[in-house]
Amino acid sequence: MKLLVINGPNLNMLGKREPGVYGSETLDSISAWLEGEAAALGAELTFFQSNVEGEIVAAIQDADNYDGVILNAGAYTHYSIAIRDAIAAVRTPVVEVHLSNVHAREDFRKTSVIAPVCAGTISGFGKLSYKLALVSFIG
């Protein structure tokens, strides 16, 4: 099974960014851990990070060759209709993930415009959110 892991804006800042909310691990460290977890489950991961909305849209449009997408769209989650439309446009299933529990934070984070077109949402388990998304594809 081949999965594409997409991380959106500011997730490249993990480790430095609001460690009280997001922890002290870097995105590289989380990705290396996830790659190991995936290998043990027989899945192969490809990683993509961008701070640019259109690049995330393009990555989703090009996800045909993957069995699924694990997407942390960062703040775009809450207002990007372009990312929502890209998810709706492709057949590859997308699972929405968040490190933090977006429902326990500011009101604007409680809205996800992408959730209705995603296969499911996992929020609040730190890096484990990514593993839970991975397991959701493997069964």
Residue 113 three-state SS: coil
Under the criterion CB under 6 A, does residue 7 sit at the interface with ligand DQA? Answer: no
Number of CB atoms found within 10 A of residue 24's CB: 11
Piece of 48-56, 58-66, 81-89, 97-105 that binds ligand DQA (CB under 6 A): 97-105
Q: Which residue from 62, 100, 119, 135 is in contact with ligand DQA, where contact means CB under 6 A? A: 100
Under the criterion CB under 6 A, does residue 26 sit at the interface with ligand DQA? Answer: no
Identify the helix (H) or strand (E) that includes residue 128: helix 128-138
User: Can you tell me the distance from the alpha carbon of 30 to that of 54, in angstroms, rounded to the nearest whole number?
Assistant: 24
Burial of 29 (0-12, 13-18, 19+ CB in 10 A): middle
Q: Which residue has the tokens 């989703």?
A: 60
Under the criterion CB under 6 A, does residue 98 sit at the interface with ligand DQA? Answer: yes
Piece of 35-43, 53-61, 68-76, 81-89 that binds ligand DQA (CB under 6 A): 68-76
Under the criterion CB under 6 A, does residue 113 sit at the interface with ligand DQA? Answer: no
Under the criterion CB under 6 A, does residue 72 sit at the interface with ligand DQA? Answer: yes
Q: Which residue has the tokens 């640019």?
A: 52
Smallest distance, ligand DQA to C-beta of residue 39, A: 23
Catalog residues that contact ligand DQA under the rule CB under 6 A. Answer: 10, 72, 74-75, 77, 98-100, 102, 109
